[in-house]
Chains A and B, each alone.
Chain A
């Protein structure tokens, strides 16, 4: 069953006098449990597409159906609720909250979901931090972590609430290949065991290797879309 259905998705950034077309008519269907990578040259519209899928931004035209729900009819508040419960984001710039420790940054995301007991929250946060290789660093503040460690906190934060959909914008950009591999394995495991849907944007061949579907975007349009088994 489809988690996402996009039809004629168009995004035009209005820059005062000039209009920048970032996406021009994207048609895509993403099934539940897919492990997908979007690639393409810089400026082709990858980040823009992820933001639309993640209910963080609205298209200029076209429709997105997220898990059976048409997003166009929802207000900001409803979109926030979908993000809170069902979407995990990993951004290029990690955007951790500087006054919170690694542990608390991850805890924040799962607390918002509001469905776990105190002890369960603690277990889950510790487990996911260990899984991304941050055991022992839980109490460090972001300014006491390296770029790669911050990226891993951001990944843990996206995964901890076990959302239906994880969107990761260049997740391996700040990681060495060994750590990248570890993190990808954590995600692949979650994908296998929980059926979580993953969509990445990347230039990294390693990430593409893990993906079972490769979508190439050029000039805001789907240029190639191939699945492999």
Chain B
């Protein structure tokens, strides 16, 4: 077997052109996967950031009933609110890696400009705390944030355009208060924002928390407290910890990490595309290898016949060919991974100007890209695709190798 292994590598070295060409084809397949994987990874990171920075934060504290109504019935109920007292605030601040927390009072409303009406989500916020949890500050295209107690509002530029509104205009929000009676909240537009999050751009109206409390008749109550952490990857673990702690002090409250929020689930689609790319690589690699093995076998028919005359079993002939192809797969894989490192590096460092490339507002298509898209490093992906091409190369050589090994040695030796 050792001798056959050596023979396989000698054949690789001897038929250098063929080895190199096949390896390069495989390397390019690997490269395209790695680049794609890096961009998709970057896009997913960006999607997460878009959701976390503008919508969900890292952790959300709310009552269990509220969570159920919100996730299952798509309602923002006013009967399952809670009070943010000092003790709760202190407990929240003691969470490991805590950066900031902000209360939110959410409600359904109809936004009117005097002519038309649109259903929107209203959010009563404390502007200062909100600014520490969310990244809206840098996204104002006109005007600025309101101060507490002001009858002023902030909304998405897109929503404003839709309703023909500008900074300084007055809006009316038609709401149903806690007792079920209709009420209105009037406000002047303080600022307009544009983000990579389409929900923020066209569905949400921000107002001062105290103004909303008055309008909804829910004094001192909030829907959620949103927490920002140092590290998004610890959210699930910390949600469990804080949740357990609140169980004792505030039994009806629970803590949910960002990745359990509904907004996050659509991202799985990218994974399916990844499988598709995997399949394409498989096909390219397999075709290149099968082609190479058939050529090699045709060229070496006499040799194969002779080896069989010397007493080599079919499976040993197959072994030699499979090993040769594995070698090609490895060379191609290593080459592809090296090219991948060279390709991903600038994407991570400088990013790709996607928006500029297609010169469109991608946010309105639900693509969370504002400005440059940055690639990410995914070493596990490198390892997988390498392993993958090596295995595909080995497996796809088996059939043609059997075909060659099964040829009648008499015919191949005498070229008859």
B263 CB-CB contact with A under 8 Å: no
Q: Most chain-B CB neighbours within 10 Å: which of A54, A92, A100?
A: A100
Chain A nearest CB, measured from B339 CB (Å):
29
Instruction: Give Cα A216 to B48, complex, Å.
Output: 88
Within 393-416 of B, Cβ neighbours of A (below 8 Å) are at: 408-410, 413-415
Give CA–CA (A65, B231) in the complex, Å: 80
Q: How far is the CA of A112 from the CA of B413 in the complex (A)?
A: 19
Contact A98 B14 (CB under 8 A): yes
Asked whether any CB of chain B lies closer than 8 Å to the CB of A174, the reply is: no
Distance in Å: Cβ of B87 to nearest Cβ of chain A = 80
The answer to whether A98 touches B303 (Cβ under 8 A) is yes
Q: Which residues of B contact A (CB under 8 A)?
A: 3, 7, 10-11, 13-14, 302-303, 305-314, 408-410, 413-415
Q: Which residues of B contact A92 (CB under 8 A)?
A: 414
Tell whether, in the assembled complex, residue A56 and residue B409 are in contact, meaning their CB atoms are under 8 Å apart.
yes
**Nearest-Cβ distance from residue A15 to partner chain B, whole angstroms:** 10
**Which of A2-10, A24-32, A76-84, A221-229 forms part of the interface with chain B?**
A76-84
**Per-residue 0/1 for A92-114: is the Cβ within 8 Å of any B Cβ (1 yes, 0 no)?**
11011111100000011101100
A210 at the interface (CB under 8 A from B): no
User: Is A198 interfacial (CB 8 A cutoff)?
Assistant: no
CA distance A47 to B409 in the complex (A): 13
B296 to chain A: closest CB distance in Å?
11
Residue of B7, B314, B413 with highest tally of chain A CB at under 10 A: B413
Contact of B311 among A47, A51, A81, A96 (CB under 8 A): A81
Q: Which of A80, A95, A108 contacts B3 (CB 8 A)?
A: A108
Separation of A5 and B168 alpha carbons in the complex (Å): 112
Knowing A51-B410, A95-B302 are in contact, say whether A76-B3 is a contact too (CB < 8 A): no
Q: Which 5 A-B pairs have the closest CB atoms?
A: A84-B311, A95-B306, A83-B311, A99-B10, A99-B14
Tell me the complex Cα distance, A85–B313, Å: 13
Least distance between B187 CB and chain A CB atoms (Å):
84
- Listed in ascending order, the chain A residues whose CB lies under 8 Å from chain B are 47, 51, 54, 56-57, 76-77, 80-85, 87, 89, 91-93, 95-100, 107-109, 111-112, 157
* Residues of the A chain whose Cβ atoms lie less than 8 Å from the Cβ of B11: 99
Q: Is the CB of A56 within 8 A of B3?
A: no
The minimal Cβ–Cβ distance linking B314 to chain A, given in whole angstroms, is 7
Given A57-B410, A93-B414, A99-B7: A85 touches B311 (CB 8 Å cut-off): yes
20 more A-B residue pairs beyond the given contacts A76-B314, A100-B10, A111-B3, with a C-beta to C-beta distance below 8 A: A77-B313, A80-B308, A80-B311, A80-B313, A83-B309, A83-B310, A89-B309, A91-B309, A93-B415, A95-B302, A95-B303, A95-B305, A95-B306, A97-B7, A99-B11, A99-B14, A107-B3, A108-B3, A108-B310, A112-B312
Whether B307 and A93, one on each chain, are in contact in the complex, defined by CB atoms closer than 8 angstroms, is no
Q: Are B303 and A56 in contact (CB under 8 A)?
A: no
Instruction: Give Cα A87–Cα B313 distance, bound, in whole angstroms.
Output: 15
Which among B3, B303, B306 has the greatest number of chain A C-beta atoms within 10 A?
Answer: B306
Contact B309 A56 (CB under 8 A): yes
Task: Provide the residues of chain B in CB contact with A95, threshold 8 Å.
Answer: 302-303, 305-306, 309, 413
CB proximity of A113 to chain B, nearest CB, Å: 8
Quick one: which of A47, A76, A100 contacts B7, CB cutoff 8 A?
Answer: A100
Query: Least Cβ distance of A159 to chain B in Å?
Result: 13
A84 contacts B310, C-beta separation under 8 Å: yes
- Are B308 and A97 interface neighbours, CB within 8 A? no
Q: Which residues of A contact B3 (CB under 8 A)?
A: 107-108, 111
